[in-house]
Structure 1
Amino acid sequence: MARPREFDTDLAVERAMALFWRQGHHATPVPQLTALLGIGSGSLYAAFGSKDGLYAQVLKRYCEGLIADLEHNLRTGSDIRTALRCLMLAMVTADAADPQRGCLLVNATTERAAHDGTVEQVRTAMTAMESVLTETLERARVRGELSSEHSPVEMARFLTTFVQGIHVMSQARADRVFLESAITAALRALD
């Protein structure tokens, strides 16, 4: 009979997220993970299958939170440009507070581009982001805030790509004036 799990897997995923986010997947050895989580390697493997399995759970949790935050922030009742500007400026502020950490999704994409599971998770998250933005832009078009000449899907794809670029430029230490100028230009695409 298997012994019951003696640790909180949700808490383990949260703690592992902080470490993976700071160091990346490759630079985070299993002994460091198990020490941080206060478990043995057998428990880690029993709960997550492998370090990759734990990383996949971390990335899943991060992406779910990212999409939930995006949906929440875009349903503020503000007009589309104000909502998007506030969202992007909040990202710039968060990235500036810890530029080495960056966006876990961008980090995963660049570090694990050869790992099919990670690539699929990133693709799924980007598709979900695009979907949320498309729905938001469709509502904005109905309210008269977006020209009928613009395709909400195409604009959502542009914004999804642009948002990731903001994160990359933040990690490259672009200053706030530069990033605010880029955001202003991107929002003009909605005109």
Structure 2
Amino acid sequence: MARTREFDPDAALQSALELFWRRGYEATSVADLVGHLGIGRASLYATFGTKRELYLKALDRYAETHDPQLLAGLSRPGPALPAVREVVRRFAEEAASPRQRLTGCFVTNTAAELAPHDGDAARRVEVSWDRFETLLHSALVRAQGQGELPGGRDPRALARMLLVLLQGIRVVGKASDDPARVRDAAEQALALLD
């Protein structure tokens, strides 16, 4: 007779996500995961597979839960350029906050730590960035169509510039204790939308 699970896999995945997000992949051992999740090593492997598989599942969870929250404003009806500005400023404020300095963005952290040598991680990062770029592009096309953005601007190029800038803001915000650095960069980027 099979034993029933003595833990909630969904809660364990969320807990693993939080640990990986705080510490990174390499700095988190299987023993750390077992202790943090409060489950046995056999249960961890039986439910989630290897540490790497668990990390990728945690990254998928992050993308499912954090990306939509962060970017919802870009799809709202009405003026589009204020929504783009709001996202850029929110990224800068989050990157300048003490809490964000401790964790950064899980996708950006993965891009720096794993994507250069892990194809599965790199693909997940690209999917997240593609989704973000598409939302920015759509908002900028709407802004141009509504007369908020000058007609001679290239919405695709602007969306890509903002994506790269915002990922850079997250990296700099994690490493710098000078909030003006990310705030000034965000405002300079926003000036390009005038």
Per the TM superposition, whether the score is higher than 0.5 is yes
> Superposition pairs for residues 5-154 of structure 1, below 5 Å?
5-76=5-76, 79-95=79-95, 96-98=97-99, 99-112=101-114, 113-154=116-157
Name stretches of at least 5 consecutive residues in structure 1 with no aligned partner. none
Aligned partner letter, 1:27 = A
Pairwise CA distance, 1:107: 1.1
Q: Deviations over 1:25-71 (max 9, x none)?
A: 11111111112112111111111111111100111111222320233
CA distance in 1, matches of 2:98, 2:88: 14
Change (3 A) 1:141 1:70: farther
Pairwise CA distance, 1:160: 0.8
CA distance in 1, matches of 2:22, 2:75: 30
Output the TM-score relative to the length of structure 1: 0.90
Output the TM-score relative to the length of structure 2: 0.88
2:103 alignment partner, SS class: coil
CA distance in 2, matches of 1:65, 1:139: 25
CA contact (8 A) 2:81 2:143 kept: no
How high is the sequence identity, in percent, across the aligned residues?
A: 36
Aligned partner letter, 1:144 = G
Pairwise CA distance, 1:78: 6.6
Name stretches of at least 5 consecutive residues in structure 2 with no aligned partner. none
CA contact (8 A) 1:70 1:132 kept: no
1:179 alignment partner, SS class: helix
Aligned partner letter, 1:142 = G
Calculate the aligned-residue CA RMSD, in Å.
1.9
More moved, 90-99 vs 117-126: 90-99
Pairwise CA distance, 1:154: 1.6
CA distance in 1, matches of 2:91, 2:53: 28
Pairwise CA distance, 1:184: 1.5
CA distance in 1, matches of 2:157, 2:108: 21
CA distance in 2, matches of 1:71, 1:36: 30
2:158 alignment partner, SS class: helix
Change (3 A) 1:97 1:77: farther
CA contact (8 A) 1:59 1:105 kept: yes
> Superposition pairs for residues 149-188 of structure 1, below 5 Å?
149-173=152-176, 175-188=178-191
CA contact (8 A) 2:111 2:125 kept: yes
Aligned partner letter, 2:30 = V
